[in-house]
Amino acid sequence: MLAAIGLESIDQLFSGIPEKLRLRRLLDIPRALTEPELLDYFKDRAARNAADYVSFLGAGIYRHHIPIIIDALISRSEFYTAYTPYQPEIAQGTLQAIFEFQTYIAQLTGMEVANASLYDGSTGVAEAMLMAQRISRKNKFLVAKTVHPEYRAVMDAYARNLGIEIQLIDYTAEGRVDMAQVERALGKDVAGIVVQSPNFFGTIEDTALISDLAHRHDALSIINIAEAVSLGILKPPRDADIVVGEAQALGVPMSFGGPHVGFLATRDRYVRQMPGRLVGMGKDYSGKRAFVLTLSTREQHIRREKATSNICTNQSLCALMSTIYLATLGPVGLAEVCEHNILKTDYAVGQIRSQTPHRVLFPAPRFNEFVVQLDDRYASRVERLMQNNIVPGLDLSRFYPELRNTLLVCVTETTRKDQIDALVKGLA
């Protein structure tokens, strides 16, 4: 091959690089490993993560059962080794699957249209904020303190240089967003209000009321869904303007925080302000149904600095996982999973109330998470549970210093009764 190019050595291939910039030593990285060594290396590291603990952690990443067929299907190299479907004639598989994802998300959220995915829930809600800024041409956002704290941190990082002002809204003793405070803060300058449901404390918000209040003040209603399984049974936020969130709960492994999959849904009239890719249904020149990336004049490869977002690569394969999850469960299976989450969580709350001295905070209805406030025996209780291989939940003071000695506990359909009982016993 070198001869065909007219060169004598590999080194000459790099003649375009000035000699003074060449690295004339080997990189200082570990020596090459063979396949058996690689397996050993990673099995050893994987074993140093405690997968065998009973975990009550949720807080934005949920442990639901993932049907086996998802991995079987997404492991087809036709799906996982293909690029973004820029050549529709040889990418109809990916395109149709994304169109199905968009439809499922629209159905679940009660919105008219959904995009092909965003990186995750946290960047999704930041993108939703920028979208609302474009639609409203206003810069102030009211954001509930019960929006996932890491999502709020990402919103801050995105907002900082764009003239956006974020005003936080407190939660009530019920564990919901303080509507009176929202009402006081709403004014002509407010672009939108951002509320999560179920919120970070697991409490279900009345999204219809929130949207109504926003609309009465000419502000947009942005509802964030971090636990997408809940949409299988909870009333969708139909009155919102943007529904944005995280679909990890729908069939995507927790995987130490990623890759997961963000979604963004809205009303038809805002579609040209949406970030991210969209797949449309059209026809080929002979009239056959066909799918294709569309409305790309919003996007960076055409609009460059005027694009609605800088996103290019998104989370297509994870969106496919969620699509297969929804196809496998169907509306009935999904509602049953929701029912198990609600009833097991309700059981856990009841047991903690009756069997332990601790307080379960926030009486509003909840989906699969709740907050327990322990007394000053907090540290010893948590330690005892950990010794029994139980991670009892998230220490909320990490994000809410006012909530000392409190745990955010998540119970899903995968949590067995004996595991709940062990948690309760450990807390008692």
Partner 1 sequence: MSSNHQRTGSHFQITERLVFEEGSPGRRGFDLPELDVPRKDVATVIDPSLLRDGIAGMPELSEVDVIRHFTRLSTWNYHIDLGLYPLGSCTMKYNPKINERVARLEGFALAHPYMPAELIQGALEVQKTLETCLAQISGTDAVSLQPAAGAHGELTGILMIRAYHQSKGNPRKKILVPDSAHGTNPASVTISGYVVENVPSDRRGMVDLEHLKKVVDQDVAAIMITNPNTLGVFERDIAEIAELMHSRGALVYMDGANLNAMMGITRPGDFGIDVLHINLHKTFTTPHGGGGPGAGPVAVKKILEPFLPYPTVGRQAGGNYFFDHDRPQSIGKMKAYNGQFGMHVRALCYILANGPEGLKEVSEVAVLNANYIRAKLKDAYAIPYDSPSLHEIVFSDRIQARKDVHSGDIAKRLIDYGFHPPTVSFPLIVPGALMVEPTETESKQEIDAFIEAMLAIAKEAEENPEIVKSAPHSTRIGRIDEASAARKPVLRWRPE
Ligand X SMILES: Cc1ncc(COP(=O)(O)O)c(C=O)c1O
Contacts (CB under 6 A) with ligand X, residues 254-313 = 312-313
Q: By CB under 8 A, is residue 369 in contact with partner 1?
A: no
Residues 310-369 that bind ligand X (CB under 6 A): 312-313
Give one word for 409, left, alpha or beta, with left for phi > 0 and alpha for psi -120 to 50. beta
In the complex with ligand X, which residue's Cβ is closer, 98 or 250?
A: 98
- CA-based end-to-end distance of the chain: 74
- From partner 1, ligand X, none, which one binds at residue 88 (CB under 5 to 8 Å depending on kind)? partner 1
Quote the CA–CA distance of 289 and 88 in Å, as a whole number.
Answer: 12
Quote the CA–CA distance of 320 and 251 in Å, as a whole number.
Answer: 9
Report the relative pairing of strands 220-225 and 190-196 from DSSP bridges.
parallel
Residues sharing a CB contact under 8 Å with residue 267, sequence separation 6 or more, in sequence order:
111, 112, 113, 241
SS3 244: strand
SS3 370: strand
How far apart are CB 384 and partner 1 at their closest, in Å?
14
- From ligand X, partner 1, none, which one binds at residue 269 (CB under 5 to 8 Å depending on kind)? none
Report the relative pairing of strands 289-293 and 54-55 from DSSP bridges.
unpaired
Write the binding mask 215 to 234 for partner 1: x where contact by CB under 8 A, - elsewhere.
----------------xxxx
Quote the CA–CA distance of 261 and 117 in Å, as a whole number.
Answer: 6
Cross-strand partners of 167: 142
- From partner 1, ligand X, none, which one binds at residue 426 (CB under 5 to 8 Å depending on kind)? none
CB 358 within 8 A of CB 352: yes
In the complex with partner 1, which residue's Cβ is closer, 67 or 403?
A: 67
Residues 325-344 that bind partner 1 (CB under 8 A): 326-334, 336-340, 342-344
In the complex with ligand X, which residue's Cβ is closer, 72 or 312?
A: 312
Taking each helix axis from N to C end, the angle separating 92-109 and 316-355, rounded to the nearest 10 degrees, works out to 30
In the list 138, 140, 145, 148, the residue contacting partner 1 (rule: CB under 8 A) is 148
In the complex with partner 1, which residue's Cβ is closer, 56 or 186?
A: 56
How far apart are CB 314 and ligand X at their closest, in Å?
8
In the list 280, 357, 379, 428, the residue contacting partner 1 (rule: CB under 8 A) is 280
How far apart are CB 218 and partner 1 at their closest, in Å?
26
How far apart are CB 2 and partner 1 at their closest, in Å?
7
Residues 389-418 that bind partner 1 (CB under 8 A): 391, 394, 413, 416-417
Enter the tokens of residue 232: 């299988």
In the complex with ligand X, which residue's Cβ is closer, 120 or 227?
A: 120
Cα Rg for the chain, rounded, in angstroms?
24
- From partner 1, ligand X, none, which one binds at residue 90 (CB under 5 to 8 Å depending on kind)? partner 1
Per-residue burial over 64-94, b = 16 or more CB atoms within 10 Å of its CB, e = otherwise: bebbeebeebbeeeebeebeebeebeebbeb
Number of Cβ within 10 Å of residue 270's Cβ equals 18
Residues 32-51 that bind partner 1 (CB under 8 A): 32-33, 35, 38-39, 41-51
How far apart are CB 402 and partner 1 at their closest, in Å?
19
Q: Which residues bind ligand X (CB under 6 A)?
A: 312-313
